[in-house]
Structure 1
């Protein structure tokens, strides 16, 4: 699997969790349950899901493997040295 596929897969995982966490919050609002431990847990879950998503978005887009295996960055061919 290449870096783009890995990024897309991880993005999908994180967005599913963020969506589920936000849905849980919306359900509590609909049920008028805006306090107590279920509310605090739902807020914390949504906060953590959002932070994980933002961390992925802001992660450096560097492929360290070409330096290690002699490939030109962004290619599968050996570098021209």
Structure 2
């Protein structure tokens, strides 16, 4: 990142997509459509938005995984 403005702009774009992906999933939950192709598309979009956000922040995938039940 070359500047705070670039960081702010990119993070804003990524957060808009993450918010839209989350909203779509919540709409499907409200409509009781939590399976099938629309749900699969929505969960994939959300996963990709989260991955993009984590990549931007430099968060490792292991840092966001739930603790193992060992």
TM-score w.r.t. the length of structure 2 is 0.79
**Which runs of structure 2 are paired with 1:1-80 in the superposition (5 Å)?**
3-58=3-58
The CA deviation at 1:3 is 1.4
When the two structures are aligned, how many residues end up with a matched partner? 58
Unaligned runs of 5+ in 1: 60-81
Name whichever structure is richer in helix by fraction.
2
Distance across 2 between alignment mates of 1:49 and 1:11: 11
Which structure has the larger Rg? 1
Distance across 2 between alignment mates of 1:7 and 1:37: 34
In angstroms, what is the RMSD of aligned CA positions?
A: 1.2
Unaligned runs of 5+ in 2: 60-70
Question: Structure 1 residue runs of 4+, over 3 Å off?
Answer: none
Higher relative contact order (CA 8 A, sep 6+): 2
